[in-house]
Every structure is written in structure tokens, then in C-alpha cells.
Amino acid sequence: KINLLNIEKNIGYGDGINKGINYSSGEIICWFHADLQFDPFDAIKIYQKYKLDLYDQKIMIKGKRINRSLLDSFFTFGMSLFTLLLFGKKINDINAQPKMFNRSFLKLVNKPPTDFSYDVYFLLIAAKNKIKINEFPVRWYNRNAGVAKGGGSFKLKIKLTIRTIRFMINLKKVF
């Protein structure tokens, strides 16, 4: 079943995901980017492998991107290291897709960010509440069309990293 959600004004990445999640009606929720940089059928494989744990609310599943460039892997490692040092939580490949979890998790989400910090916020909430975060390897493909708004170029990667680090430092104050 597919329901169409029309968002009148694009406020940002996190806002769109959050609106979609809250619009959904299923017990198991999954999100991933629509740019086809990974095979959507991987979400079905993840569900089939982990569905009992997902329904029991024991885990959250996230992708773990394979076959990425050295530069992309370096930024990913750096963000994971910063998260570990700041929060004491080991979370690999924060921005990997898909993310899959039980709807009950949404009770823990309070005023999420509307930008690309959404992924790290979501995973830190899970880690803080001792929800196990499992990873599922997903092949990462080059973008077929459009330009990445978050980290497509080196300059954008730096800007995204700085914004995310600022967000995490502010989150640490209230965490």
C-alpha cells in the first residue's frame, strides 16, 4: 500500500522524513533516499531477516554502505569517531540508508532536527535508550540524476560536517 504525501514547503531533509514517518500507518517503518543510490529491494531483505526482532521492538536496522570512495569513507569514519568521543556511543556510517524500526520508537523522538542532522539524532536517541542498532550491508551506487544537497562535493561535505558537529555539540548539552 502506498500513500502519497504532498509536502507544500520543503523545509529540509529531516522535516520531510519526519512528516513521512508520522503520516505512515505501519508498525514497521523504513525510510531511505529516493535517489536510488541503493537497491530498494534491500529494504525487503532487511525486513525478512529481522522482522521478528523488529516486531519485538528489540532493534533498529540501518544500512552499512559498501564499495564507497576513500574520501566518502574518510568522512563517514570521522563522523563516527566524533560521535564516539562526544557521546560515548559507537555508531558507524550514520547517514547510511535504509533505516528500519518499530513504530513504538517514535515515542522517544522529541522535536527532531529538520536538516541532515536527522540521521545522527535518530541513531543517538536509539543508542541512548539501549536499542540495539544492527547494520545490513548495502551496495552504494552513483547518483543517476540530480545533485546531492548534503554532501555531493568536497565543499558540501565540509559544510555538512560542520553543521552536523555543531548540532551534536548542542545536542550534548541537553542529552
Q: Does this model's pTM top 0.85?
A: yes
**Residue type, position 82, single letter:** F
Residue 114, phi-psi category: left (phi > 0), alpha (psi -120 to 50), beta (remainder): alpha
In the prediction, which pLDDT does 33 show? 83
Query: In this predicted model, what pLDDT tens digit does every residue of 1-32 receive, in sequence order?
Result: 677 889 999 899 999 999 999 999 999 999 98
Q: Cα separations (Å) of 77 from 40, 92, 94, 129? A: 24, 7, 9, 23
Q: Is residue 149 over pLDDT 80?
A: no
Query: Cβ of 30: how many Cβ atoms within 10 Å?
Result: 19
Q: What is the pLDDT of residue 150?
A: 64
pLDDT at 85: 97
| Amino acid of residue 93 | D
By CB atoms closer than 10 A (0-12, 13-18, 19+), residue 113 is buried
What is the three-class DSSP state of 64? strand
Supply the pLDDT for residue 107: 95
78 SS3 class: helix
Instruction: Tell whether omega for the bond before 40 is within 30 degrees of 0, i.e. cis.
Output: no
